[in-house]
Every structure is written in C-alpha cells, then in structure tokens.
Amino acid sequence: MGDPKAFLNIPRREAGYRPIHERITDFSQVEQTLNSHDRKLQASRCMECGVPFCHWACPLGNKQPEFQDALYKGKWREAYQVLNETNDFPEFTGRICPALCEKSCVLKLSCDAPVTIRENEAAIAEAAFREGYVVPARPKRNGKKIAVIGAGPSGLSVAVRLNARGYEVTIFDSKPMPGGLLRYGIPNFKLPKEVIDRRMDVLKAEGIRFEMSVPIDVQKLPTGFDAYAVCTGTPAARDLVIPGRELKGIHFALDMLTQQNRILDGETFPKEQLVNAKGKRVLVIGGGDTGSDCIGTSVRQGAASVTQIEIMPQPPIGHNDATPWPQWPVVLKTTSSHEEGCTRRWSLASNRFIGKNGKVCGVEVEEVEWLPAAEGGRPTMRPTGKKEIIDTDMVLLAMGFLKPEQPEFAENVFVAGDAANGASLVVRALADGRKAARQIDLYCSR
C-alpha cells in the first residue's frame, strides 16, 4: 500500500462524459479518460482492505487491490498482468461493467466515494495495448479439439481459456463478425467496435479459428471435436402480447440497436426496413440498460421526443435499506443516455397499442401499485384504474430476454453464459465461460 492516507486527501474523480451537445451528434464513445498522473492518484485511494469486498463482489474474482497498487506505483505492465490473470477482456468490462466491485468498496460505505476501479481497469487495458504488453501466445497443442458455438462473451471466454491450455479451438457463429451482444447489442457510444476487433486479432494470432456466418443447430453439432461449449446467449426477447401488437412501428429493442451497429459498420438497408427514430415520438417500454441504450440511440437518430416507462416502481434515490452495503444497491440509476433527454415514468402497465392506418400512434397505459407480500415474498401488482394515452410514433420493447430451454446434451457438451443461466451481465458471462472451460478441461483430461 503506497499511500495509506490517500483516501483521506484525494477525492474520487471520474473522467466524466463528453458534453451532451457534442456527443449526441455522433456515435463515438461518450466516456472520457484521465491523464496517467491523475489515474495513478485515483488508484492510490485503494486502502488494500483486510477483507477486500471488491474482490468478493467481482464475478471474475479480480484482484483489485493488487492492480490498484501496481497502477499507483506506475507499474503498468505489472498491473495488466495481475488484471489479466482473472480477466481475459478488461477492455470490455472496463467500459461496460456496472462495477459491482465499486458498490462493495469500503469507501462506498464510509464516504460514498469508492475507488474508480472500473475506469482504472479500462486505463490499464488501454495502456497494455498501447505499450505492447498484449502479446499473442502460441501454446503447445495437446491434440484435442473443441468447438464453441457462439462468439459472444461466454464463448470467447471459453475459447481463450482452452486455447491457452493447448486445445485447438474453433468458434462457430451465425453472425458475420464475432462479439455477440458486445458487437450487435451494445451501442458504439458505449463500446467502440474497434476495441472488439483489436482483441479478435489477438485471438486469431493465438490460433483460435473463427467460422463466421455459420448457423449451428445445437441438436446437430459438427463432428470431429472432443467436446463442445454451447454459448448461444438468449436470442428470444420478451414480447408484449397485448391488443394492437401487430401494428407497424413496434419493434424489439435489439432490432434498432443491432441495425444501427451494422449501419455504422458499413451495411445498408432498404428504407422500408429501417428502424429509425428520426422525427418520431419514441416510447421505450422497459427500464433497464437495454432501454437506456435505446434512448441514446433514438436521440442520436434525431427523435422528436423520448419517453421511457417501467412497470416497476421508481427505486429509491441514493440509498436503499433493502439492499445494504456490500450488496448491489437497488437505487435510481441515471445513465449518460438519460442525461441526453428523456422523460422517465414508473409504475405503468401497458394495456393496448392504438393504431391509425395500420401504424402505432399511441399506447394506453394504466398506473399500477405494488403491494408487499404478507410473508416477504414477491410483491403483488394491482391496477389502479387510472388510465391514459401516451402518443407515440415508435415503440421499442426493452423488457429483457427469455431464458432458453436447452435439450438434453451428451456428456461432452457444456452450456455456458446466458444460454445456461438466462440474461445477465457480460462480466458474469465471462466468468461462466471460464468455469465451463475448466469443466471441459477436466472432462478431456480424465
């Protein structure tokens, strides 16, 4: 611990976002960065607690105190080596992880100013690429072959771990480019796609094979492999089956997000297939991160207005007694996209879509109240009868994804990530990929 009093003398400082009037005109990354001197000062705030709750909270088991100390001392290579021991893709998580580690930092409890762990992680990863610390490794092959179905976070994690152990790994994916949700679901303003491409070049140099634009039926897996990892994610979005659902102008969130990312990658679409918010009153149904991404994308496309509604009640602001430290705090979250212009409302259920000439023009919503269960179970929703019409020209359904049902597989087939557990965080998918890689290694080594 280089400076035991740094947390007392140095305030938490975030890099912040680009100015709103500037960032809404493009899809470039919204988050800024600190210079190396200020970044090291932020790392110095880590107290190297006797019980590092940050490590406890991280699904990957990152050793935050160790890489913070190395960063503070200017040992960037060592910081990356420590980080890379547990996290194969810190440039991804350093940008898009909600930072469970920070919410469990002791400084979060004591003064509501945790160490900037996520930003520090991203800075270390960028320094590693910039300074040439990221060098492809070509391990000695053990003669066994593994097929990974799905090139998303969990699949990439499985592939990297097994490749490092000497397996010949081939990744199959139906999409033209690897990354899964990282590439096709998360907007460029949160995760620039050149960051993905840069890492994929490393994976290819390490000997991992990519078979893209190759749909695989998991019940008819390709032959010639010793084991398989099914990492197909959660492809089915949760629908809202209410009257009027057939009207034009109602889309799943990923219809917009995926298309916009593909357009930025150079693809073109016929006008009648475009999911574009320009000049439209947009209604986003769903209050999670995907809904937030729809808001930011709609603003950049030139929406006339954006409204987001959520069926659950508004979370508490700042602190929630029901989720005390070091748990993840269920509190009101305001993202960079919310800051760019959005009306947010809670406790609203959607009853029916209203159309005109075959196109959606409004949604009837009804205020609901949530009644606590008698014995601490799930609260009960009760309609209040207070109804209104929200005028809209485009509806984006961002209500999450359905957990896929998997068939019964042979003993050499392992399921990982969202395909196994349902939709969750990217960091959890990466952790589950590492777990599956260990299981496959044990299976193939027996």
pLDDT digits (tens, 9 = 90+) for 21-50: 999 999 999 999 999 999 999 999 999 999
**Band of pLDDT at residue 1, cut at 50, 70 and 90:** low
Q: What is the mean pLDDT of the chain?
A: 96
| pLDDT the model gives residue 282 | 98
Comparing CA positions, the residue from 257, 157, 150, 145 lying closest to residue 199 is 157
Q: What is the mean pLDDT of residues 92-104?
A: 98
CA 344 to chain centre: 21
Tokens 């602190």 appear where? 319
pLDDT score of 133: 97
Radius of gyration of the chain (CA): 23
Q: Which of the four CATH numbers 1.20.120.790, 1.20.1250.20, 1.20.1260.10, 1.10.1060.10 does domain 3-129 have?
A: 1.10.1060.10
Mean pLDDT confidence for 86-94: 98
pLDDT of 438 strictly over 70: yes
3-state SS, one letter per residue, for the chain = CCCCCHHHHCCCCCCCECCHHHHCCCCCCCECCCCHHHHHHHHHCCCCCCCCHHHHHCCCCCCHHHHHHHHHCCCHHHHHHHHHHHCCCHHHHHHHCCCHHHHCCHHHHHHCCCCCHHHHHHHHHHHHHHHCCCCCCCCCCCCCEEEEECCCHHHHHHHHHHHHCCCEEEEEECCCCCCCHHHHCCCCCCCCHHHHHHHHHHHHHCCCEEEECCCCCCCCCCCCCCEEEECCCCCCECCCCCCCCCCECEEEHHHHHHHHHHHHCCCCCCHHHCCCCCCCEEEEECCCHHHHHHHHHHHHHCCCEEEEEECCCCCCCCCCCCCCCCCCCCCCCCCHHHHCCCEEEECEEEEEEEEECCEEEEEEEEEEEEECCCCCCCCEEEEEEEEEEEECCEEEECCCECCCCCCCCCCCEEECCHHHHCCCCHHHHHHHHHHHHHHHHHHHHC
In tens, the pLDDT along 43-83 reads 999 999 999 999 999 999 999 999 999 999 999 999 999 99
* Cα 130 off chain centre by: 24
Q: What is the pLDDT of residue 3?
A: 78
Give tens-digit pLDDT for 300-311: 999 999 999 999
The strands making up 348-356's β-sheet, listed across from edge to edge, are 348-356, 359-371, 380-391
Task: Classify each residue of 55-76 as buried b or exposed e, where b means 16 or more C-beta atoms within 10 Å of its C-beta.
Answer: bebbbbebbbbbbbbbbbeeeb
Burial of 442 (C-beta count, 10 Å sphere; 0-12/13-18/19+): exposed
pLDDT at 416: 98
Q: How far apart are CA 142 and CA 312, in angstroms?
A: 52
**Beta carbons within 8 Å of 274's beta carbon, 6+ residues apart:** 259
User: What pLDDT score was predicted for residue 377?
Assistant: 79
Domain chopping of the chain, boundaries: 3-129, 143-233+401-442, 248-395
Q: What is the per-residue pLDDT for 105?
A: 97
- pLDDT tens string 195-242: 999 999 999 999 999 999 999 999 999 999 999 999 999 999 999 999
| Distance, CA of 73 to CA of 79 (rounded, Å) | 9
Q: Give the fold, CATH level 3, of 248-395.
A: FAD/NAD(P)-binding domain (3.50.50)
Q: What is the CATH number of domain 143-233+401-442?
A: 3.40.50.720
Dump pLDDT digits (tens) for 101-159.
999 999 999 999 999 999 999 999 999 999 999 999 999 999 999 999 999 999 999 99
pLDDT digits (tens, 9 = 90+) for 359-402: 999 999 999 999 988 777 788 999 999 999 999 999 999 999 99
Report the percent of the chain where pLDDT is more than 90. 97
Mean pLDDT to the nearest integer, 82-101? 98
- Which position has the token pair 């320094």? 127
What pLDDT, on a 0 to 100 scale, did the predictor assign at position 2? 65
Q: How far is Cα 396 from Cα 259, in angstroms, rounded to an integer?
A: 13
Is there a shared CATH topology between the 143-233+401-442 domain and the 248-395 domain?
A: no
